Amino acid sequence: MDIGILTYYGVHNHGAVLQANGLQQVLKSMGHNVQFLSFERSYEYISEEQVKKYKLSLNSIPFYIKYMMNKGIGNILYNFKKRNELKVFRSASFDLSTSYDMFNGDVTVIGSDEVFSLEIGYNPMMYGYGLESKRIVSYAGSFGPTTIQDIAKKGKTDSIRKGLNRFDAISVRDLNSQNIIKELCGNEVPVVCDPVILYGYEKEMLEFKPKESGYVVIYAYDNRMNNKKEVNAIKSYAHKHGLKIYSVGYYHEWCDKCINASPIELLGWIKNAELTITDTFHGAVISIICKTPMAVKIRGNANKLAHLLSEFGLSDRIMDTFSDLEKVADKKIDFMSVDKILREKRKASMRCLISAIEE
């Protein structure tokens, strides 16, 4: 079959790139021809100032001058190098030659990631509008932080309902998304695992092994995990256990090192870490597949992150505050049990994916 994937492949983080590639690799392993479908993203729900951050142009220069004054030259240089790392990976791995409205293949798969979210803007193609393929399905789609109330507030209830009702099959990544679709469309759709878990990256995580050892990985957006109490708690834990603190994928000046890594190298850094300290969904996902202990802080992403941890029996990895870091980190994880759950979820998710695309 000719399959097009419609997802947020261009997001400035490793998790988005790894989930997109993971779904592609799974579909290719099933013998399908796979490509990504290009589109112009809407930024209608964020300020013009924020748009300059997402859409690089000459208009972005004043924004980044101000950003540099606030964040420092180190952060700017780090993020430009990171952008290039992700661009190189996408160029080598993703075929983006076809626009979503020009693709007339067998199946368009929408997902994974927050393809249904309204946080930044409303993108009609993510709800099936303007697609010409024979079948339209979603795999592990998510509304992210968007709630049913947000949808109503933005006046998108009818358009999203009508769009989703045109899908031939839908699966989601979390309970919030499942509940929204049930309320909008009356359908009980399955919850499946993220493509990073589905694919597993078992070979790729062994391709890169850091020369360093004895470190914890910080995987958090660079505007988070900078609070003085959080930083002091992490430093205190690392000092007590003789560990270095490495921020991988994001810039945190207070860490011993800020490491710019390719998406595959990130897997190696986390696989060989003593502990991952994260507040992101994919930070937890990668730790699960790499069998690396984690301590997780949930912020505004409970819809997906808390659900993920509960699915794998890892709710005790959640820190209410960073004063819990030592207590959480000291708990042993039964990775045999986690692996058993992972295998079962992969099997069930594969059945859903095969059923969706092949009917």
Residues 6+ apart with CB under 8 A from 34: 3, 4, 5, 24, 27, 28, 95
- Give yes or no for residue 114 having a pLDDT over 70: yes
CATH classification for the domain delimited by 2-45+94-199+345-358, as one of 3.30.499.10, 3.40.50.2300, 3.40.50.2000, 1.20.120.530 = 3.40.50.2000
Q: Is 60 exceeded by the pLDDT of residue 258?
A: yes
Query: Residue 109 in contact with residue 36, Cβ under 8 Å?
Result: no
Pair 298, 279: CB distance under 8 Å: yes
pLDDT at 75: 86
Q: How far apart are CA 68 and CA 294, in angstroms?
A: 32
Q: Which two tokens stand for residue 211?
A: 């020369």
pLDDT digits (tens, 9 = 90+) for 37-81: 999 988 888 766 555 555 555 566 676 566 666 677 888 889 889
Domain map (residue ranges) of the chain: 2-45+94-199+345-358, 50-93, 204-342
Q: What is the mean pLDDT of residues 206-234?
A: 96
Q: 110-145: b or e for each residue (b if 16 or more CB lie within 10 Å)?
A: bbbbbbbbbebebbebbbbeebebebbbbbbbbbbb
| Cα separation, 244 vs 257, whole angstroms | 8
- pLDDT of res. 10: 86
Which one is predicted more confidently, 53 or 221? 221
What's the pLDDT score for residue 61?
A: 62
pLDDT at 198 over 90: yes
- The mean per-residue pLDDT over the stretch 93-103 comes to 95
- Stated as kind and residue range, the H or E segment containing 319 is strand 318-319
Q: Judge whether 2-45+94-199+345-358 and 204-342 match in fold.
A: yes
pLDDT at 184 over 60: yes
As a whole number of Å, the end-to-end CA separation of the chain is 12
Question: Any idea which of 141-150, 268-277, 295-304, 322-331 has the lowest mean pLDDT?
Answer: 295-304
Mean pLDDT across 245-265: 97
Q: Using the predicted structure, report yes or no on whether residue 210 has a pLDDT greater than 60.
A: yes
Topology of the domain comprising 204-342:
Rossmann fold (3.40.50)
Give the mean model confidence (pLDDT) for residues 13-17: 94
Cis? peptide before 97, omega within 30° of 0: no
Amino acid identity of 78? Y
Task: Give tens-digit pLDDT for 286-308.
Answer: 999 999 999 999 998 788 899 99
Residue 342 above 70 pLDDT? yes
The dihedral region occupied by 203, where left means phi > 0, alpha psi between -120 and 50, and beta the remainder, is alpha
Average pLDDT over residues 177-195: 96
Q: What is the arithmetic mean of pLDDT over 99-110? A: 96
Mean of the per-residue pLDDT values of the chain = 93
